[in-house]
Amino acid sequence: MASLSLLSTPLTHQTVTYTSSCKYNFPSTGVFRTSTRKGFKRHTSVVTAMSDLAQSTVLVTGAAGRTGQIVYKKLKEKPDQYIGRGLVRTEESKEKIGGADDVFVGDIRDADSIVPAVQGIDFLVILTSGVPKMKPGFDPSKGGRPEFYFEEGAYPEQVDWIGQKNQIDAAIAAGVKQIVLVGSMGGTDLSNPLNSLGNGNILVWKRKAEQYLADSGVPYTIIRAGGLQDKEGGIRELLVGKDDELLQTDTRTISRADVAEVCIQALQFEEAKYKAFDLASKPEGTGTPTKDFKALFSNITTRF
């Protein structure tokens, strides 16, 4: 992304120079200069696509996931601001979200496979996560609780730690300006039920990746979301907290759409950088829907 400070010396995407006493028609977009030298007029048209100067390239990993799809879609809806990219694990997942050329296929557990996706990006939004699967044979009519497992090679240690570390390293090597990482509340409590799913200790490994990002030196925003819900976004008052304090209240859930919006907004404000926070929302119809994200980020003081 070109720095706006460079506008004092216009960037040149295409320079067309004519030397003649005649008049020429130049594109309406750009800078027009005229000078005289030895009886000839020198016309120079510096054509600059101003929209290109404002665009940032953003890669969303886990773009085929339920929250990742929303972030990717939001980026594509703002072409004047963002050049959106996605990273998914399979060709099937790529087709699931439209199969566009800006969706890359790679395995975050294989560092080399994700390098093409991160080249030239300004921002990285990490939405990858290990996903436990329910063991077959569970009958809810008989009571009890279902049992879960992780597929071989897809345990949280491999996905949420190694996979996220690979993403962070690749993005830093590519010169990324900021990384937004979406995790989960509950990481301060080893006995959290999420850790017992499939014996994966998923919050432990997520926390390890978060710490790695915070120690990396790159500007970051770590969003520890509450219980995710497939509900409309933008109609609730958002709540930020720290150290899982929100888990002790009745407001510990949030819509995926709201998480996605916070991811996008975090790219726009300096107040979101070097911050880590828990995120939930008040129930619909209570409080005032959050619209001032600069104020929201300004209220956060925790770096980890």
pLDDT classification of 171: cutoffs 50, 70, 90? very high
Residue from 184, 191, 255, 298 carrying the catalytic annotation: 184
More confident residue, 80 or 9: 80
Which carries the bigger pLDDT value, residue 40 or residue 114?
114
Residue 120's φ and ψ, nearest 5 degrees, are 80, 10
pLDDT digits (tens, 9 = 90+) for 243-295: 999 999 999 999 999 999 999 999 999 999 999 999 999 999 999 999 999 99
* First-to-last C-alpha distance (Å) of the chain: 28
Sign of the Cα pseudo-torsion (280, 282, 284, 289, in order): negative
User: What is the distance between the alpha carbons of residues 217 and 219, in angstroms, rounded to a whole number?
Assistant: 7
Asked if 123 and 173 count as a contact pair (C-beta separation under 8 A), the reply is: no
pLDDT, mean of residues 165-192: 97
- What pLDDT score does 103 carry? 97
| pLDDT the model gives residue 53 | 53
Spatial distance between the Cα atoms of 302 and 304, rounded to a whole number of angstroms:
5
pLDDT of residue 38 exceeding 50, the answer is no
Q: Which two tokens stand for residue 176?
A: 């990324």
pLDDT band (50, 70, 90) for residue 32: very low
User: Which pLDDT does position 48 carry in this prediction?
Assistant: 37
Model pLDDT for residues 97-142, shown as the tens digit of each residue: 999 999 999 999 999 999 999 999 999 999 999 999 999 988 888 8
Supply angle C-alpha 291, 178, 257, rounded to 5.
35
Q: What is the dihedral of CA 304, 61, 261, 101, to 10 degrees?
A: 150
| pLDDT over threshold 70, residue 39 | no
- What average pLDDT is seen over the chain? 86
Distance in angstroms (rounded) separating the CA atoms of residues 165 and 214? 12
Is pLDDT at 11 greater than 60 in this prediction? no
Pick the more confident residue, 14 or 166: 166
In the residue annotation, 184 being an active-site residue is answered as yes
Q: Which residues, including other chains, have CB under 8 Å from residue 2's CB and lie 6 or more apart?
A: 11, 52, 53
Amino acid present at 213: L
Please report where in the chains the tokens 């690979």 appear, as a residue.
Answer: 166
CA 69/CA 274 separation, integer angstroms: 25
The closest of 167, 208, 160 to 187, measured between CA atoms, is 208
Query: Worst-scoring range by mean pLDDT, 19-23, 43-47, 72-76, 180-184?
Result: 19-23
pTM for this predicted structure? 0.81
